[in-house]
Amino acid sequence: MRVTGERIREVGTARPRRLPVAALAALLALTAACSSKDSPAWKDGPPAPKASATITTPAADAKDVPAATEIVFTTKDATETAVELKDASGQAVEGALSADGKSWLPDAALEYGAEYTATVTATGDDGKAATATSTFTTMAKPANQVRVTSFIGDDQVVGVGMPLIVKFGRAIPEDVRADVQRRMTVQTTPAQEGAWRWISSTEVHYRPKEFWQAGTRLQYKVQVGGLPMGGDWYGRADLTIDAKVGPSFIMSVDNATKRMTVTKDGNVVKTILVSLGKKSTPSSSGTMLVMEKFKHTVFDTTTELGPEDGYRTDIDFAQRITYGGEFIHAAPWSEGKQGSVNVSHGCVNVSEADGKWLFEQTRIGDPITVKGTERQLKNGNGWTDWNLSWEEYVEGSAIPYVPADETGGTDDADDTDGTSATPSE
């Protein structure tokens, strides 16, 4: 059978059949389901995770909370964290975040037997905030409280070697010293690296790595009011001090020459003839500090040595440098020996005129270094902080010491406010 071209064209141009309405709808739905609109792709990356916050201390509804409590918390996926503490009347309590951002400490001890509410707000990348709250009640005022004192007072001007000295009215057990030390902060202007050292169970010192820079402002705080300090004892109150370092005034004594060289702000201002301790009662070699000053006093050793071996002598311009009784003082009776022979009982003898001059120049904490004598200074015989190397000194900290260049440098010179803050080592 012959098929004509007209037939072929007719077959090729045949019109399609119309689909029923229901079938067409099903086809369109299938097409939509397979479109890119449902594919797992985002123009700006995955959605930001939601931030969260949890308060771990004090726990919600906690009772008998120490008045020195911190607000300890954890956050997740937070770009910003804020902490608020209010008393029962809604009054906000001032405070600040810790350096690691994991806790918040009130500026002062909380009231005893009072209710507070802490709120931690964590904000995420999406701008949405999550909050956690904890309402707690502080303990009643404890019967046993530990007094805290500072040797340095407000507005006092001290020497460049002066350690910050804090004393406790009761021995602090070793297992709580780290907690106490974490509440002891130091700010200096200009910034300088330093560390705390426990001298005994009741005394802690802080010194810089090098002598203080002249004119340094010293601000330190012992925030232990209400802090547990072993057994059923608690800190009585916080302690804050704002003091200053005076000019650099350094005395150096060489037994070989029997002379003292005095430098002020780096310049030699005077050379003084001295007589040190004779061989039977030698002066100590080491770095000591002026601890106290007496314009006029009496040295009386008759009680210790007896009336035959002891002596009682009026002394002018005496400056104590050891607990054991070594002083810098005027000794007019040895002026003919000063600069050539040692005749003292261990003290640094100078002339009446030089004794007066030194007395008028020095401040508590000014250093004196003696070298070349028959006896080495015993650590603990006075403020012997500078008789130790820096490495030895930091071993006395209750918290492992971390050098400033490994902590981000809170004491570096590029701090925006020129201060260093050292809550711990």
pLDDT of residue 375: 97
* pLDDT over 60 (residue 183): yes
Q: What is the mean pLDDT of the chain?
A: 88
Question: How many Å apart are CA 406 and CA 112, to the nearest integer?
Answer: 39
Between 8-12, 219-223, 307-311, 390-394, the lowest mean confidence (pLDDT) is in: 8-12
Q: How confident is the model at residue 49 (pLDDT cuts 50, 70, 90)?
A: confident
Mean predicted confidence (pLDDT) in 405-419: 42
268 and 337 fall within a common domain: yes
- Domain hosting 126: range is 52-137
In a domain, 76, yes or no: yes
CB-side neighbour CA atoms (13 Å) of 51? 22
254 and 310 fall within a common domain: yes
In a domain, 47, yes or no: no
Between 24-33, 104-113, 381-390, 399-408, the lowest mean confidence (pLDDT) is in: 24-33
169 and 117 fall within a common domain: no
pLDDT of residue 69: 97
Mean predicted confidence (pLDDT) in 119-142: 96
Backbone dihedral region for residue 381 (phi beyond 0: left; psi -120 to 50: alpha; all else: beta): beta
pLDDT of residue 425: 43
pLDDT of residue 339: 98
Yes or no: say if 348 and 327 are a contact pair by the CB < 8 Å rule. Answer: yes
103 and 226 fall within a common domain: no
CATH of the domain at 299: 2.40.440.10
In a domain, 390, yes or no: no
**Any idea which residue has 């012997």 for tokens?**
384
Mean predicted confidence (pLDDT) in 125-132: 93
pLDDT of residue 424: 40
* pLDDT over 90 (residue 25): no
* pLDDT over 50 (residue 7): no
Q: How confident is the model at residue 192 (pLDDT cuts 50, 70, 90)?
A: very high
Last residue of a domain, one of 137, 154, 176: 137
Q: How confident is the model at residue 406 (pLDDT cuts 50, 70, 90)?
A: low
| Burial label, 82 (beta-carbon count in 10 A; 0-12, 13-18, 19+) | middle
In a domain, 41, yes or no: no
Q: pLDDT higher for 45 or 57?
A: 57
CATH of the domain at 221: 2.60.40.3710
Q: pLDDT higher for 333 or 420?
A: 333
Question: How many Å apart are CA 339 and CA 213, to the nearest integer?
Answer: 31
CA-to-CA dists, residue 314 to 33, 87, 231, 299, 318, angstroms? 108, 61, 48, 6, 10
323 and 256 fall within a common domain: yes
Name the residue type at position 105: L
| 3-class SS of residue 295 | strand
CA-to-CA dists, residue 17 to 14, 30, 340, angstroms? 9, 20, 131
221 and 337 fall within a common domain: no
How many domains is the chain partitioned into structurally? 3
Q: pLDDT higher for 101 or 403?
A: 101
* pLDDT over 50 (residue 307): yes
pLDDT of residue 99: 84
**Any idea which residue has 């309590």 for tokens?**
93
* pLDDT over 60 (residue 419): no
